[in-house]
């Protein structure tokens, strides 16, 4: 008997980063062994192949994002305040140049989904769950009387998600400093003020 020596979460976060920077196809196994510190054999033993590693990285990414979402929307502050903080956080993340700005889910969706039904389904499901979480918070804001609108929570959540997709793509065009913030503020206004 002997247990695996590496820390799976750390490995997956390294792989995640590599994939976000170079994309799936251009990230070679050599890149991945360097990024994760694992040797090819270990990677193939633990994740079957490069694609398996991507899938595992996507799952880890989802988990991390879930946790992040939880921290932003826990606590007793007003829901709309939380939304503002969440948006600001995303804007800052997009602006920080040194990490990959892109979201692994949308990046992988754009690159591999058309060729791979299983990954497409996995990503789509993750994005859907995120959207559901947002819809729940909007619903909560309504029942708290923070938000008075006729509009359906699901519709608003969809629009919010669309806005963030757009923001992320916009960020890749390297806009000037305050542009993303302005766009995010406008998005907030359009959704959360009557």
Partner DNA sequence: TCCATTCTTGAATGTGCGCTCAAGATACGC
Partner DNA sequence: GCGTATCTTGAGCGCACATTCAAGAATGGA
Name which of 128, 169, 156, 50 is nearest 120 in CA terms.
Answer: 128
Chosen from DNA, its own copies, none, partner binding at 165 (C-beta under 5 to 8 Å by type):
its own copies
Could you tell me the sign of the dihedral formed by the alpha carbons of 5, 27, 89, 163, in that order? negative
Which of the ranges 39-47, 55-63, 69-77, 167-175 carries the binding residues for its own copies, by CB under 8 A? Answer: 167-175
Binding to DNA (CB under 7 A) within 50-89 occurs at 50-51
Distance of CA 47 to the CA centre of its chain: 22
Here's the x/- map for its own copies, 130-159, by CB under 8 A: it reads as -------------------------x--xx
> Can residue 115 be called a binding residue for DNA (CB under 7 A)?
no
Angstrom CA distances, 95 to 14, 81, 90, 91, 116, stand at 21, 21, 9, 6, 31
Task: For residue 56, give every residue at least 6 positions away whose Cβ sits within 8 Å of its Cβ, in sequence order, or none.
Answer: 12, 15, 47
> Can residue 48 be called a binding residue for its own copies (CB under 8 A)?
no
Binding to DNA (CB under 7 A) within 17-36 occurs at 27-30
Beta carbons of 36 and 43 less than 8 angstroms apart: yes
> Can residue 41 be called a binding residue for DNA (CB under 7 A)?
yes
> Can residue 164 be called a binding residue for its own copies (CB under 8 A)?
yes
* Residue 46 or 154 having the CB closest to its own copies: 154
How far apart are the C-alpha atoms of 180 and 34, rounded to whole Å?
34
Token pair 């003020």 is found at: 193
Name which of 129, 159, 163, 110 is nearest 61 in CA terms.
Answer: 129
- Closest contact distance (angstroms) between CB of 4 and DNA is 4
> Can residue 49 be called a binding residue for its own copies (CB under 8 A)?
no
In degrees and rounded to multiples of 5, residue 116 shows phi and psi of -145, 95
Q: Which of 42, 44, 170, 181 binds its own copies (CB under 8 A)?
A: 170
Binding site for DNA (CB under 7 A): 1-6, 27-30, 38-42, 44-46, 49-51
Binding site for its own copies (CB under 8 A): 21-23, 25-26, 100, 102, 106-107, 109-111, 113-115, 120, 123-124, 127-128, 155, 158-159, 161-170, 172-174, 179, 182-183, 186, 190
């Amino acid at each position: 008997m002997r247990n695996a020596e590496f820390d799976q979460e750390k490995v997956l976060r390294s792989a995640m980063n590599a994939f976000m920077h170079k994309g799936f196809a251009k990230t070679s196994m050599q890149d991945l062994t360097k990024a994760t510190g694992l040797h090819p054999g270990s990677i193939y033993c633990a994740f079957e192949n490069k694609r398996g590693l991507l899938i595992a990285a996507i799952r880890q990414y989802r988990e991390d994002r879930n946790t992040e979402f939880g921290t932003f929307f826990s606590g007793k502050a007003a829901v709309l305040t939380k939304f503002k903080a969440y948006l600001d956080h995303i804007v800052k993340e997009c602006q920080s140049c040194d990490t990959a700005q892109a979201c692994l889910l949308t990046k992988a969706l754009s690159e591999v989904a058309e060729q791979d039904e299983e990954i497409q389904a996995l990503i789509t499901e993750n994005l859907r769950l995120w959207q559901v979480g947002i819809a729940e918070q909007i619903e909560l804001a309504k029942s708290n009387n923070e938000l008075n609108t006729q509009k359906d929570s699901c519709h608003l959540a969809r629009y919010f998600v669309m806005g963030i997709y757009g923001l992320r793509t916009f960020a890749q065009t390297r806009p000037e400093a305050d542009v993303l913030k302005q766009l995010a503020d406008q998005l907030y206004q359009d959704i959360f003020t009557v």
